[in-house]
Amino acid sequence: MSALKPVQVGLLGLGTVGAGTLAVLRRNAGEITRRAGRGIEVVHASARTLDKPRATPTAGIRLSADPRAVVDDPGVEIVAELIGGLDPAYELVMRAIANGKHVVTANKYLIALRGNEIFAAARAAGVTVAFEAAVAGGIPVIKTVREALAGNRVEWLAGIINGTCNYILTAMREEGREFGAALSEAQALGYAEADPAFDIDGIDAAHKLTILAAIAFGVPLQFDKVYVEGISAITRDDVLYAEQLGYRIKHLGFARDTGAGIELRVHPTLVPQRRLIANVDGVMNAVLVHGDAVGPVLMYGAGAGAEPTASAVVADLVDVVRALTTDPGNRVPHLAFQPDALADAPVLAMDAVCSACYMRLFAVDRPGVLADITRILADRNISIEAIWQKEPAEGAGTVPIILLTHRVEERAINDAIDRIEALDAVCGAVMRIRLEELS
pLDDT at res. 2: 55
| Residue numbers annotated as active site | 208
Q: Does 290 share its domain with 383?
A: no
| Amino acid in the structure at residue 138 | G
Measured CA to CA, the distance from residue 114 to residue 134 in angstroms comes to 13
Measured CA to CA, the distance from residue 290 to residue 298 in angstroms comes to 9
Q: Does 238 share its domain with 155?
A: yes
With the C-alpha atoms ordered 179, 171, 200, 145, is the resulting torsion angle positive or negative?
Answer: negative
Measured CA to CA, the distance from residue 351 to residue 366 in angstroms comes to 33
Last residue of a domain, one of 285, 318, 341: 341
The CATH number given to whatever domain includes residue 322 is 3.40.50.720
Measured CA to CA, the distance from residue 219 to residue 431 in angstroms comes to 33
The answer to whether the beta carbons of residues 284 and 139 sit under 8 Å apart is: no
The CATH number given to whatever domain includes residue 365 is 3.30.70.260
pTM for the complete prediction? 0.95
Q: Does 264 share its domain with 365?
A: no
Q: Which residues pair with 288 in a beta bridge?
A: 158, 298
Measured CA to CA, the distance from residue 101 to residue 94 in angstroms comes to 10
The answer to whether the beta carbons of residues 297 and 288 sit under 8 Å apart is: yes
Q: Does 57 share its domain with 166?
A: no
Measured CA to CA, the distance from residue 95 to residue 100 in angstroms comes to 9
pLDDT at res. 356: 98
Q: Does 182 share its domain with 288?
A: yes
Q: Does 410 share its domain with 425?
A: yes
| Tally of domains in the chain | 3
Q: Does 232 share its domain with 315?
A: no
pLDDT at res. 289: 98
pLDDT at res. 55: 77
Answer yes or no: is 347 within a domain: no
Which domain covers residue 225, as residue numbers? 141-302
pLDDT at res. 439: 86
Answer yes or no: is 1 within a domain: no
Phi, psi of 182 (to 5 degrees): -65, -40
Answer yes or no: is 387 within a domain: yes
Answer yes or no: is 348 within a domain: no
Best CA proximity match to 299, nearest among 308, 307, 30, 355:
308
Answer yes or no: is 122 within a domain: yes
pLDDT tens for the chain, 439 residues long, are: 456 899 999 999 999 999 999 999 999 999 999 999 999 999 999 999 888 888 788 889 999 999 999 999 999 999 999 999 999 999 999 999 999 999 999 999 999 999 999 999 999 999 999 999 999 999 999 999 999 999 999 999 999 999 999 999 999 999 999 999 999 999 999 999 999 999 999 999 999 999 999 999 999 999 999 999 999 999 999 999 999 999 999 999 999 999 999 999 999 999 999 999 999 999 999 999 999 999 999 999 999 999 999 999 999 999 999 999 888 888 999 988 999 999 989 999 999 999 999 999 999 988 999 999 999 999 999 999 999 988 777 767 899 999 999 999 999 999 999 999 999 999 999 999 999 999 8
Answer yes or no: is 245 within a domain: yes
Measured CA to CA, the distance from residue 396 to residue 365 in angstroms comes to 10
Measured CA to CA, the distance from residue 408 to residue 411 in angstroms comes to 9
Q: Does 102 share its domain with 176?
A: no
The CATH number given to whatever domain includes residue 295 is 3.30.360.10
**Is residue 418 classed exposed, middle or buried when 0-12, 13-18 and 19+ CB atoms within 10 A define those classes?**
exposed
Q: Does 219 share its domain with 333?
A: no
Q: Does 365 share its domain with 284?
A: no
